[in-house]
Amino acid sequence: MCGIIGYVGKKSASPILLEGLRRLEYRGYDSAGVAVLGNATLVVRKKLGKIDEGIARLLKAEPVHGSLGIAHTRWATHGAPADKNSHPHFDQSEKIAVVHNGVIENYDSLKQKLLATGHKFKSDTDTEVLAHLIGEHYHKRKTGNRKPETGNELAAAVSDALREVIGTYGLAVICTDFPDTIIGARRGSPLIIGIGKGEHFLASDANAIVAHTKKVVYLNDYDVATITPERFEVSNLGTDTANVQISNLEFSHEDVGRGKFAHFMLKEIFEQPQTVANALRGRLDFEGATAKFGGLNMTAAELRHVDRIVIAASGTSWHAALVGEYLIEELAQIPVEVEFAHEFCYRNCPLEKNTVLLVLSQSGETADTLAALREAKRRGHRALAIVNVVGSTIARESDGGIYMHAGPEIGVASTKAFVSTITVLSLLAVHLGRLRQLSANRATEILRGLEALPKQLEKILAQNDALNKLAKKYAKAEDFFFLGRGYSFPIALEGALKLKEISYIHAEGYSAAEMKHGPIALIDAKTPTVFLVPQDAMYDKTMANLAMIRARKGPIIALATEGDKQIKKVADDVIYLPKTLEPLNPILASVPLQLFAYHIALARGCDVDKPRNLAKSVTVQ
């Protein structure tokens, strides 16, 4: 959630901060603000609303000048969206400014202690409490009126304050006493240092700084960084030393632009033929009739001894995990259980000796998923990951894993990362299956089917205009059902989620067989049903379920296999998908549902890239 950008160097900070905020707006857009230090004066500007409607206009009307600054775009946790709750926040002396991602769980007890010593607060946020706490420790460290000589004293004060804090944080701190220093710290909320020549950056997301540098340092939990134009130092609250590794970003600033597309979401939907190809590249082994990976860090013998896999994920990744369950159980005959990551952490899920945890996360920073990974490792189990962001916390802390190579995903509603995750899970299922009893013929058939997907996805994307027209037909509906069976069931859940996320229409995903056990009571002529009915092993039964909806005059939109003439007789509208193998249907079926949701949201006047109340990466529990 939220976004942080900081700059220290010789250039004017304000334009760099504003550009970074625009790059980060998908992480939070309730409000935004900047703090810039110039000529020993610390100036804060902050405003409720989206970047261009709020802080950008304010900075144009009331410019700030200086070559050091921090900025923040907010997704509200403590305190409603309001100017007073926007970041940055001052300490009591207004010499220190802080921006913060995360949640300070013990903020109330800290606030009461500070109030008792005369502190006064102007906002409802936990962040302002943290700012005051840092200021309190900083002024305790000053002797008399002596001005501290280096930023080390500010870093020490930040460290002192954080030792009192319970919760999560990614934060940036500046102080009028140090016109060339930013202090950064993280626990549970991502933060990276960008390395330049005579300048350095601090950001919660590489998207914000990739236009300026491709060399970065990913901070670890409990790291505290001191950053100046010429150097950076990192220590750790737990060990006083830190593991610092410089990495190179794998994407460019062009990759995080919209290009010719009106929205990031549409761009990312249309990138899916390429992202699937990227996920497959170098991994299809036709000679061995298997898939190959470089990062699982488990031998063939160790993988053969796996008796059970638990997949932990959240949101859209949880739907991908359900597809993974079907794939791995069918192709590899390994029992799979899918858990919400947050439930796995707290319900004491029993794990047998040869159980492996597999976590799924686009960002690699999802708080619940990271907690599940750490819990499995604490209990002595192998924890693998499928992630998109190289260098992310989950990627670094897992015992092994697979990168999606989907490229940056900016749209809040995940599209290409979802499809890439399922593609990787398909490869993993083949790999595990070949270590057991999956025949070479069947494995090769799956690999050939995967290889054909990029061109088949292009064929589906060519139906964009038809899907736009269909979306306008149903855009005024207030309720939707999405139904499917077998491999199509998780895609029904995902289709419903996409529609809810960006159009705010109430939508429910169900197994088609479950409709008769209660939900069918809600069917009427005003409630459309999207039926996933490919010509697979469940076709006849799904058609029978469809007939139940038809008999109750419910409008039906069907996703069917090319050449299916029967479906035209019972559905009001049909979207045809290229013929593929049953385990690969989920990849093809996802794309028209994404486009359908996108066009309905546009027809209803919604902001598809920044839907209300949502943020891209959920880094708080």
Closest CA to 486 of 592, 419, 569, 584: 584
Closest CA to 475 of 502, 444, 443: 502
* Sign of the four-CA dihedral 220, 226, 232, 234: negative
The highest-confidence range among 48-52, 324-328, 374-378, by mean pLDDT, is 324-328
| Segments of 13-168 assigned E as strands | 31-38, 41-48, 68-74, 89-90, 96-101
Average pLDDT over residues 274-295: 95
Q: Which helix (H) or strand (E) holds 594?
A: helix 585-603
Average pLDDT over residues 193-221: 92
CA distance 368 to 374: 10
- The answer, yes or no, to whether residue 621 has pLDDT greater than 60, is no
Mean pLDDT of all residues belonging to the chain? 91
Using DSSP's 3-state secondary structure scheme, residue 316 falls into helix
* Residue 257: both structure tokens together: 């632009």
> How many CA atoms are closer than 13 Å to the CA of 153, on its beta-carbon side?
19
CA distance 337 to 324: 10
Within a 10 A sphere around the Cβ of 351, how many other Cβ atoms? 18
Residue 441: alpha-carbon gap to chain centroid: 37
At position 165, the amino acid (one-letter code) is: V
Here the contacts of 396-399 (C-beta below 8 Å, separation 24 or greater) are 396/218, 396/220, 397/370, 397/373, 398/359, 398/373, 399/297
Q: Are 247 and 344 contained in the same domain? A: no
Q: Are 276 and 405 contained in the same domain? A: yes
- Domain span holding position 61: 3-254
- The answer, yes or no, to whether residue 338 has pLDDT greater than 90, is yes
**CATH (domain of 194):** 3.60.20.10
Q: What pLDDT band is residue 28 in, cutting at 50, 70 and 90? A: low
Give the per-residue SS3 of 352-385: CCCEEEEEEECCCCCHHHHHHHHHHHHCCCCEEE
Q: Is the peptide bond before 88 cis (omega within 30 degrees of 0)?
A: yes
Does any domain span residue 477?
yes
Domain count, the chain: 3
- The answer, yes or no, to whether residue 616 has pLDDT greater than 80, is no
CA distance 221 to 237: 9
CA distance 511 to 492: 8
Q: Are 50 and 198 contained in the same domain? A: yes
Q: Are 229 and 127 contained in the same domain? A: yes
From the list 2, 175, 349, 606, the catalytic residue is 2
Q: What pLDDT band is residue 619 in, cutting at 50, 70 and 90? A: low
175 flagged as catalytic: no
pLDDT digits (tens, 9 = 90+) for 227-267: 999 999 999 997 767 778 888 887 776 677 788 899 999 99
Q: Which helix (H) or strand (E) holds 100?
A: strand 96-101
- The answer, yes or no, to whether residue 25 has pLDDT greater than 80, is no
Which of 195, 223, 254 represents a domain boundary (last residue)?
254
Does any domain span residue 94?
yes
H helix runs in 123-271, sequence order? 126-141, 152-162, 264-270
Tell the burial category of 348 from Cβ atoms under 10 Å away from its Cβ (0-12, 13-18, 19+): exposed
Query: 156: Cβ–Cβ under 8 A, 6 or more apart, which residues?
Result: 141
Using DSSP's 3-state secondary structure scheme, residue 133 falls into helix
Query: 444: Cβ–Cβ under 8 A, 6 or more apart, which residues?
Result: 286, 289
pLDDT digits (tens, 9 = 90+) for 397-416: 999 999 999 988 988 899 99
From the list 111, 267, 416, 616, the catalytic residue is 616
Does any domain span residue 13?
yes
Does any domain span residue 616?
no
**CATH (domain of 586):** 3.40.50.10490
Does any domain span residue 325?
yes
Can you spell out the DSSP letters for 470-521? HHHHHTT-SEEEEEE-TTHHHHHHHHHHHHHHHH--EEEEEEGGGGGGTGGG
Q: What pLDDT band is residue 620 in, cutting at 50, 70 and 90? A: low
Q: Are 59 and 199 contained in the same domain? A: yes
pLDDT digits (tens, 9 = 90+) for 127-160: 999 999 999 999 988 755 455 555 588 999 999 9
* Residue 405: both structure tokens together: 């190579």
- The answer, yes or no, to whether residue 1 has pLDDT greater than 80, is no
CA distance 485 to 572: 20
Q: Are 503 and 401 contained in the same domain? A: no
Q: Are 152 and 65 contained in the same domain? A: yes
The pLDDT of residue 239 is 76
Which of 425, 459, 493 represents a domain boundary (last residue)?
459
CA distance 268 to 205: 18
Q: Are 350 and 483 contained in the same domain? A: no
pLDDT digits (tens, 9 = 90+) for 156-174: 999 999 999 999 899 999 9
Does any domain span residue 615?
no
Q: Are 22 and 160 contained in the same domain? A: yes
Kindly state the DSSP code that residue 514 receives in the 8-state scheme: G
Kindly state the DSSP code that residue 151 receives in the 8-state scheme: T
Q: Are 561 and 594 contained in the same domain? A: yes
**Which residues pair with residue 224 across a beta bridge?**
185, 235
More confidently predicted of 512 and 324: 324
Does any domain span residue 618?
no
**Which residues pair with residue 356 across a beta bridge?**
309
CA distance 368 to 371: 5
Within a 10 A sphere around the Cβ of 301, how many other Cβ atoms? 8
616 flagged as catalytic: yes
> How many CA atoms are closer than 13 Å to the CA of 458, on its beta-carbon side?
7
Which of 207, 230, 254 represents a domain boundary (last residue)?
254
Q: Are 223 and 104 contained in the same domain? A: yes
Closest CA to 71 of 171, 213, 200, 217: 171
Q: Are 489 and 405 contained in the same domain? A: no
Does any domain span residue 125?
yes
Inter-residue contact 531 to 515 (CB < 8 Å): no
| β pairing state of 290-291 and 284-285 | antiparallel
- The CA–CA distances, whole Å, from 513 to 89, 269, 445, 535 equal 53, 30, 29, 16
